[in-house]
Structure 1
Amino acid sequence: MATNDAKFQQNPPQTTKNLFLGAQICLRILAFATTLAATWTILTSKQNILIIGMTFKARYSYSPALKFLAMANGIACAFSAISFFLVIFLRRFFFNPANYFFLFLHDLMMLLLVLAGCAAATAIGYVGQYGNSHSGWSPICDHFQKYCKRVTASLAVSYFSVLFFLMLTIISASKSRQIQV
């Protein structure tokens, strides 16, 4: 009797598999779209202003933290596309609970990478918005409004991708718990 119960628990109903696959596909598409949008927005953020006959430029590439945000989102975008195609084309392979652990590790690494980029860019964005009087840094967002709005938009979209990667990590972790040792 106990062996029959174990067999039923190991083979979940088809609707559960379809729901899990649908959630995986939807969240991976959303993670891909948000990281792509954040990457594109930060890469195209630039502004030139003229003050007292001198031209000043603001570009994402002038800040290592913003370059890190762009690269983190770009890497996460590429790897979320790869994982999307793996989940689609190898779905029979991924229904084995032992393979969910690899998805869990992938999603966790992407979550941490994008979160680190967001944290670094948020710190620099704060200094750009408010300055730091102790260090003698003046705020620049009062002069470069367009640039700062694009960087803020990229950060907001990046935080949404963190949320999607967090959901993917939770789903993959819950599925990988079913591994029989």
Structure 2
Amino acid sequence: MESAAVKRDQKEKAAKRARGKYLKIHVVCKASAALATLAAASLMGFNKQISNVAGFEIKATYNSSPAFKFFVIGNAIACGYSVLSLPFVAYMVEGWMLNLFDLMNLGLVMAAASAAAAIGYVGKYGNDEIGWTKVCPYYEKFCGRTEISIACSYVGFLLFLSVCAMSSVYRSRSSNSD
């Protein structure tokens, strides 16, 4: 009987260590994702360039495209959610609600980054079949910052993906051990 109690204590200690390790990694990944999405939203939100095209001064900002507006708003929401959810990670780690919101956040960042990447691609390379010309030769600084911003958003996406994957693995392991 004593050996069963010892094994149970060892199992509980191992589960406690695993939970602590999971929580640390979860918080670090979520905080890093918040920083990445904050950087993405800030870079795009403050990105502006005025260029002279065919004798007209034309300003390029994130307001120039609905996809860029969605990108800024989506990354800002993802950052805000991540920061606001950090204090609740330790309390809600066993439940499904945090995982659901993390998945929704993952989808939001993926959609925002994909929309901005599509517009950025057309801006950089144009589309000869339709007659859309490249605009990045006229707005090199704007396009460069846009590329960095989109890259930051994809880093945030990968970090959110790792948070969701870790949550799923942790939940499946903890439910199997019961």
Using the size of structure 1 for normalisation, the TM-score is 0.86
Distance 1:179 1:13 in 2: 12
Q: Which residue, 70, 73, 82 being the options, matches 2:72? A: 70
How much has 1:133 moved relative to structure 2?
1.6
Q: Which residue, 22, 27, 50 being the options, matches 1:25? A: 27
2:112 match: secondary structure: helix
47-56 vs 159-168, which moves further: 47-56
Question: Which residue number corresponds to residue 92 of structure 2?
Answer: 94
Q: Could you list the per-position Cα deviations for residues 20-47 of structure 1 after superposition, in whole angstroms to 9, with x for gaps in the alignment?
A: 1110111111011001110100101110
RMSD: 2.2
Question: Which residue number corresponds to residue 58 of structure 1?
Answer: 60
Preserved CA contact (<8 Å) 1:104 1:176:
no
53-62 vs 154-163, which moves further: 53-62
> What percentage of aligned pairs have identical amino acids?
34
Preserved CA contact (<8 Å) 2:53 2:138:
no
How much has 1:6 moved relative to structure 2?
8.1
Distance 2:70 2:63 in 1: 9
Structure 2: gaps (5+ residues): none
Question: Which residue number corresponds to residue 166 of structure 1?
Answer: 161
Task: Give, as a single letter, the amino acid of the residue that structure 1 aligns with 2:46.
Answer: T
Distance 1:33 1:27 in 2: 10
Distance 1:51 1:70 in 2: 26
Pair 1:122-2:124 in alignment? no
Question: Which residue number corresponds to residue 102 of structure 2?
Answer: 107
Q: Could you list the per-position Cα deviations for residues 68-90 of structure 1 after superposition, in whole angstroms to 9, with x for gaps in the alignment?
A: 11111011001001111212xxx
Preserved CA contact (<8 Å) 1:131 1:139:
yes
Distance 2:12 2:162 in 1: 23
Q: How do 1:138-177 and structure 2 match up within 5 A?
A: 138-177=133-172
Using the size of structure 2 for normalisation, the TM-score is 0.87
Preserved CA contact (<8 Å) 2:22 2:170:
no
Distance 1:145 1:67 in 2: 20
Preserved CA contact (<8 Å) 1:129 1:139:
yes
Q: Which residue, 126, 150, 158 being the options, matches 1:131? A: 126
Structure 1: gaps (5+ residues): none
Question: Which residue number corresponds to residue 35 of structure 1?
Answer: 37
Distance 1:173 1:52 in 2: 55
2:60 match: secondary structure: strand
